[in-house]
Amino acid sequence: MGKVTIDGIEVEVQDGINIIEAAKVADVHVPHFCYHPSLTVVGQCRMCLVEVEGMPKLQAGCSTTVKDGMKIHVWNEKVEKARRGQMEFLLINHPLDCPICDKAGECPLQDYSFNYGSVESRYGEFKRTYPGMDRTAIGPHVVQNIIAASIARAAFASVRRSQAPTSWLSSSAVRRRRWESFRGRRSTTGCRPVSRTSAPPER
């Protein structure tokens, strides 16, 4: 156990937990998208940036473990400026379909956009779209939603680690199995068919 100070609140937390979990003990919310306690930490949304005294740069709350005596600032001007900039990047290509979205009204992106987003966008180009890949069923229990990438990336990273190839498979067999799996995914996601019919060359 160690004592840390989060936004002026001193709490005693377990050793080895990250800043997001430690902040929960102090009843302080750290904004985040891609973090989930049951999934592998990927740290790609950058919404959980916090300031830690003694460190020159802002730290990702999901990947930074707490230490005894650490002083953390979750809400200050420096942190909020970074979050506003990150929200601007996240909203550049996000479609304006909130009125028809199933998560409307209970969406963290809407909440964070209200807190950190700007009324006007500085981005004047066309938004990037993915025809044929938005809300497309790719299995009996999975619907592909290209805009929900942060938490999906973390989920697939955990699944990939849990299904690592067994040691008895040779490297060529592993490459062949991955190639066949890749071809199968390409044929079911609406992408152009793969013209190559043979497996990749042996190395």
pLDDT digits (tens, 9 = 90+) for 66-100: 999 999 999 999 999 999 989 888 888 787 777 87
What integer pLDDT is reported at residue 167 of this predicted model? Answer: 44
What integer pLDDT is reported at residue 139 of this predicted model? Answer: 79
Q: Look at the block and give the residue holding tokens 């989060």.
A: 6
107 falls in which pLDDT band (50, 70, 90)?
A: confident
CB distance 26 to 13 below 8 Å: no
CB distance 18 to 12 below 8 Å: no
Q: Where in the chain is the domain with CATH 3.10.20.740?
A: 2-116
90-to-45, 94, 118, 127, 184 alpha-carbon distances in Å: 8, 7, 12, 12, 31
Architecture of domain 2-116: Roll (3.10)
Rounded to whole angstroms, the Cα distance separating 187 from 179 reads 12
Rounded to whole angstroms, the Cα distance separating 105 from 99 reads 9
pLDDT of 190 strictly over 70: no
Rounded to whole angstroms, the Cα distance separating 84 from 196 reads 45
pLDDT digit string, tens, across residues 108-161: 888 888 888 777 778 777 777 767 666 677 778 777 766 555 556 666 666 666
**Average pLDDT, stretch 10-35?**
93
More confident call, 53 vs 180: 53
What integer pLDDT is reported at residue 169 of this predicted model? Answer: 41
More confident call, 17 vs 103: 17
Q: Which two tokens stand for residue 60?
A: 């990702």
pLDDT digit string, tens, across residues 33-63: 989 888 888 888 899 999 999 999 999 999 9
Rounded to whole angstroms, the Cα distance separating 20 from 28 reads 9
Strand partners, 11: 4
